[in-house]
Structures are given as structure tokens and as C-alpha cells.
Structure 1
Amino acid sequence: MNQVRKHTFEAVSLLTADNGMLDVTLVPAINQPDWIIPSSLILSVDNYDDRIWTYLWQQQEVMVFHLLPCDQTPDKLIVLEGNTTVHRLALQTAGELRELKVRISDVKDAELPERYVDVAISNIDYNKAKDDGFNIYKQISSEDEGENNRQDIVEEHFRENVVLSYLFQTVVIDDIPYIVPDLDKISHQLVDLDS
């Protein structure tokens, strides 16, 4: 008889279920919906009012992702667990965190509201002007279903101020939009960019 192997858990789940309920924390964000993350991933919330790119947390350097524009003053860092200690992540933001217990059935997939799409597109245009030859953008083609027209679309690989990518999913709870980030992919992007 074969020995049963215990599964090794490789990815940190964004939404964990306990009897159909989610314990989440709402993290304030500027120019995008607030982020919703599992409360169990939060290792610490530290007061910090300087904008930084790495944070020394318990003698470990943690990459920082900003949820507010450069001209806004942050007031806290939220350190999140990652798949490995290297892939821990800190979110820098301003405002109060809110904890919420929500039913899984109350979380609905949604499209990013138009006002945030407009901000993201203007951020893409701003970022393109500041690209300076780093080739952050790539051209991709798509066909319009109705007319079979080819359109060239510019896709941004990874920028903090643009939530129009595979790294972010919009959900609605009680008619309020939130962003569910793919924290694992974001942390891997940040670590890759740093190395």
C-alpha cells in the first residue's frame, strides 16, 4: 500500500473560508477601490509616515507596495505574509483599516467602476511619458467581436498606480467595489524588479 503524502501548500490563498464566512480587512487606497485582504495574512500594522520602497521588519527587508500617489503622505505600513519569507510584502497607505466578516455568497465579481478605469488610463498615459526606454509596455492585438477590427492595445506589465491588469480583481460587497489583489504575484513582481 502506498504511503499517503501530505500536500505541501505553495500559494497563500487570498480568501479563506470558515463556515462560509471570510474575515477580511479593508485597506484604504487612493484613486482605486479599497483593497480587501484576508485578516489572517496581516503580520503587523506599523505607523510610518515616510514613503519608502523597502522596510526592515523583524530584521528582514520587505518590499513595499504603495496604495497612494507620490504626493500623498502615508501614515502606516501593513506587513503581509507571503509564500516565503522573501516574498513577504508591505502595503503603504493612509487611513484607518476596517475589519469585516462577510459571507462568501455576498462577494460578487464586478467590473472596475468607470471612474477608476479613467484614472488608471490617465496613469498609463502618464507612465508611458515617463517610460524612458525601460520597455514597460508591449503592444498586443485584439479583435473587436462585432466588426472583426484589429485594435492595438497597450498593456502595462506592472505599475502600482494602474489596476487594469491580471493582478487585480474587482468585487462588490453591499454595492461597494473593492479590489482583491493577487498578493502572491505582486510580491513576486516586486522581488523580481528588485533583483
Structure 2
Amino acid sequence: MYYYTEDFDDQLDKIEIYQRYPLLKPFVGSDYGRNGPRILLIAESHYLPASSTAHNDSESWYLGLESDLNPEKEQPWMRTRGILSKPYRGWKKRGHAIYRHLESALVKAGLPISDSVFQQVAFMNAFQRPAKEGDSIKHTKQDVEVAVETINQVIDTLRPDHIVFVSTKAKRAVGKHLSQSSSGFHHPACPWWNRKQDGMSSKQRFIDHISSHWNATGAA
């Protein structure tokens, strides 16, 4: 079962990076905007396995094509919609901790579980070049430029009511250049997600933030 919609793909398919790497297209939940506000979650980047080299150089990556990548060993790592389109509590892999933690926080914020909590939101990564396995991306000026251009076009297409970064690195590098204001929180898979600052963890701040928007619209 799929938990996303392709209703926005006519516009998303016009974005250059998605023409080169269609697998990077945002996950747009099948109930996006139906039960509450339109919330766009923006994380950091995908990863490619340690043996991969296609993403080592940013200039080469942005000139490359998805077909250059191994369909079995590399492509599944950056299939945004495939990764997000899982039933409730469907993320078992160690590298998918971000989705487990986000899912739990969204439920605590009041979003309906249904079959998949992510049905209610849209999700994408800020940086359109994957990082090395197990590492945070060392972004270049080009990475930031492509990220800003891509996200702004996604904003024009999805018209979110709220943009929420779940990566302080992405928020700091990209957020100030976007056409719409955004909020930012620590990456759900990093220690700072649960570490308290001024008496409250980033996780709790995220829950409170999402909850305030969700409940303000009278969503069930």
C-alpha cells in the first residue's frame, strides 16, 4: 500500500534535480492538508553506501543521472517515497531512526495514526546530494544553491502552511534563503533531539510546535 499522492507530480517533475534523480522527489502524504494544516518537514540528506563514489564530488553529482547509480545497491538508499511509505512503526533498520523518532513525535503532537502518520505531512531532504554512509554531509556552496532553488520550487508547488526543518545544519545553511519562513529543530537521530536545553528537549519543542499548529486549525 502507498501512503503518498502523486497529485503534485506534474509540477515537481519540472524541477531540474528531480529530472535527473526522480527518486529524490518529496514524499507527499495522501492526506496532506486534508485533516489539518499543510506541514512540510525538511531533513538533511539521504546517504549512499560506503562503497559508492558517484556523490563524492558535488559538481559531478549535479551533472549526473539516476541511471548512473546501481539500481540494487545504490538507488534504494535515496528513494524518498519508498522509504517513507511504510505502515505505522514500519522502520526497523538502524539507519532509519529518524523516521521512528519523527513518527513517535508526530503522534504525540496529535496527528492521527491511521495506517501511517506520515500520510498527513510532506517530507523532503534539504540537500539534494547524498552524504557518505553514517556521516553528515559536508555541503558545498553548490549544494546550498541547489537546495535553496529546489526547496523554493517545492514550496511553490506544495504551498505548505508551515515549514519545519528537522536538521539544524540544513536550517542554518538553507532556511534564511527560502521564500517562506520556517522553524528548525535538531535531527531526530542525533543526541540533541533528547538532550534538554533550558529545561526542554528539542523533541518536546518539536512536539509542542507541531501540536500548536495542528490544534489551532481544529484538526481531529
TM-score range, shorter chain: under 0.3
Q: Name which structure has the greater RCO, CA cutoff 8 Å, separation 6+.
A: 2
Structure number with the higher strand fraction is: 1
Q: Which has the higher helix share?
A: 2
Determine which structure has more spread, i.e. the larger CA radius of gyration: 1
Report the TM-score, using the length of structure 1 for normalisation. 0.28
